[in-house]
């Protein structure tokens, strides 16, 4: 029997619904990083500022360690039961984690149980986020218009970074409304209450999204979907995901999440000033993502990736040295923007590049699991490595570490080929077009 076309909302409508959920997930995740300078003293014994930040950065890294489990659980779930169901569940878990942090008593009230429970809640959020990335990247890439996938999938990092911006925006507002003492004592909890409430709203929005037609077609044609056994049939694609992510994730977390602490703890700029520098720089960074994504639809993904690899390898060390030694807020802002401009060659298109490598029946797991493993090991530890080296008196070593990671990824970019020219997504789009036009009969039996 010929498949009937499924009524769908506009591409933009589905992208917005998927992206809003992504934004709130990342807001909840980044609220921890943004407000850690205030609550570090709440959950840990008194000590020097670097030691307390090191403890909070360690828990930030621990949250990343569970992300591969989230990538596996939610990737398998999304490939077997649908992208929409997986995305709805992930935002629910993230909101629960934020609510838990908002009401968690401090070290003065319950002692060592306080940081232990903080770890548990971050593990819950890490599980959610591990599933969010792969499933969201898959969904946005699949519902995008053919030949405009670079543009639409760039909203993965538009909303990812907007989540960080929203966290910084809340921080700026609270800094204006509350005193520093109030922020350290209890004001930071407001940010997590906001995240929990927003997650409930977004959960409802995600339930109204259309399911991806790519998933629907795969579900009709294949009984085996989203299994590790099936994923192992794509070893080259998995290794490509690891290689292209390695340098990108370290550079991204260096020039976004860690940069705030770097400017406070090393450069010596005031907290409020640093918040504004980061906020304005990230607003511009968000605007760059669709521009770079649309550019990749014209010139290919590999060109942008190589540009990122070359620039980050060559300029990271002098750039970070310059930030460390400036006493000017404007200079720090310009230098941060230079770093974010380099990183945009990776962030704007990495989601669609990964999605183009895998067929629909294994795409969410194929995108999510190798990515989550790489980010857990390298991205999540970026802050911790930087602060540990600073504490050990070798902060400059971190600069070379970031550059070396970019060089490794550059080698992968040079040899990986152009993903958009052999995209699995475009093959599926052609198959769907043939089904809807009646020129190709629908599959009458399931395949293993």
Dist CA 362 CA 237 (whole Å): 11
Q: Is residue 7 part of a domain?
A: no
Dist CA 433 CA 423 (whole Å): 16
Reference 269, options 333, 317, 176, 315; nearest CA is 333
Q: Is residue 142 part of a domain?
A: yes
Dist CA 425 CA 431 (whole Å): 10
Q: What is the pLDDT of residues 346-369, one digit of tens each?
A: 999 998 899 889 998 999 999 999
Dist CA 8 CA 55 (whole Å): 47
For tokens 């809340």, the residue is 170
Range of the domain at 48: 14-437
The tokens of 90 are what?
Answer: 């992930």
Reference 152, options 143, 161, 163; nearest CA is 143
Dist CA 379 CA 367 (whole Å): 16
Q: Is residue 359 part of a domain?
A: yes
| Contact of 226 with 76, CB cutoff 8 Å | yes
Nearby residues of 253 by Cβ (< 8 Å), 6 or more positions away: 379, 380, 382, 383
pLDDT of 322: 96
pLDDT of 57: 67
Q: Is residue 147 part of a domain?
A: yes
Number of domains in the chain: 1
| Contact of 187 with 178, CB cutoff 8 Å | yes
Q: Which residues of the chain have pLDDT under 70?
A: 1-9, 45-57, 60-61, 420, 422, 429-430, 432-448
pLDDT of 53: 64
Burial category of 317 from C-beta neighbours within 10 Å (exposed 0-12, middle 13-18, buried 19 and up) = middle
Q: Is residue 444 part of a domain?
A: no
Q: Is residue 448 part of a domain?
A: no
Please count the CA atoms within 13 angstroms of the CA of 211 that sit on its side-chain side. 18
Q: Is residue 8 part of a domain?
A: no
pLDDT of 10: 75
Neighbours of 4 (CB within 10 A): 9
Written as one string, the DSSP assignment of 290-313 is HHHHHHHHHH-HHHHHHHHHHHHH
Q: Is residue 442 part of a domain?
A: no
Burial category of 268 from C-beta neighbours within 10 Å (exposed 0-12, middle 13-18, buried 19 and up) = exposed
Reference 68, options 368, 335, 391; nearest CA is 368
DSSP symbol at 223: S
Q: What CATH number is associated with residue 88?
A: 1.20.1250.20
């Amino acid at each position: 029997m010929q498949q009937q076309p499924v009524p769908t909302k506009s591409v933009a409508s589905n992208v917005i619904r998927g992206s809003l959920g992504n934004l709130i997930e990342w807001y909840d995740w980044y609220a921890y990083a943004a407000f850690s300078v205030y609550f570090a003293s709440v959950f840990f014994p008194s000590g020097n500022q670097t030691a307390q930040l090191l403890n909070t950065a360690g828990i930030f890294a621990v949250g990343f360690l569970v992300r591969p489990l989230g990538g596996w659980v939610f990737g398998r779930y999304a490939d077997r039961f649908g992208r929409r169901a997986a995305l709805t569940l992930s935002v629910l878990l993230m909101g629960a984690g934020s609510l838990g942090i908002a009401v968690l008593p401090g070290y003065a009230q319950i002692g060592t149980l306080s940081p232990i429970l903080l770890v548990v809640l971050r593990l819950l959020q890490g599980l959610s986020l591990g599933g969010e990335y792969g499933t969201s990247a898959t969904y946005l890439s699949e519902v995008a218009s053919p030949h405009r996938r670079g543009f639409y999938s760039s909203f993965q990092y538009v909303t990812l970074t907007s989540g960080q911006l929203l966290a910084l925006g809340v921080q700026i507002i609270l800094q204006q409304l509350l005193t520093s003492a109030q922020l350290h004592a209890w004001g930071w909890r407001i940010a997590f209450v906001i995240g929990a409430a927003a997650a409930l709203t977004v959960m409802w929005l995600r339930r109204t999204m259309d399911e991806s037609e790519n998933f629907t077609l795969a579900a009709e044609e294949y009984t085996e979907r989203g299994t590790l056994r099936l994923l192992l049939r794509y070893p080259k694609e998995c290794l490509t995901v690891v290689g292209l992510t390695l340098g990108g994730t370290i550079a991204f977390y260096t020039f976004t999440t860690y940069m705030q602490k770097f400017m406070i703890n090393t450069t010596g700029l005031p907290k409020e000033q640093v918040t504004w520098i980061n906020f304005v720089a990230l607003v511009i960074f968000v605007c760059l993502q669709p521009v770079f994504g649309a550019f990749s639809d014209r010139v290919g993904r590999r060109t942008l990736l190589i540009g990122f690899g070359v620039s980050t390898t060559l300029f990271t060390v002098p750039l970070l040295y310059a930030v460390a030694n400036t006493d000017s807020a404007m200079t720090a802002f310009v230098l941060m923007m230079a770093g974010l401009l380099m990183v945009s060659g990776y962030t704007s298109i990495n989601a669609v590049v990964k999605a183009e490598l895998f067929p629909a029946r294994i795409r969410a797991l194929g995108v999510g699991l190798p990515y989550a493993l790489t980010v857990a090991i390298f991205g999540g530890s970026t802050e911790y490595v930087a602060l540990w080296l600073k504490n050990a008196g070798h902060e400059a070593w971190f600069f070379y570490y970031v550059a070396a990671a970019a060089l490794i990824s550059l080698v992968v970019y040079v040899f990986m080929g152009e993903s958009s020219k052999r995209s699995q997504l475009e093959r599926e789009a052609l198959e769907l077009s043939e089904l809807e036009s009646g020129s190709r009969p629908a599959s009458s039996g399931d395949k293993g």
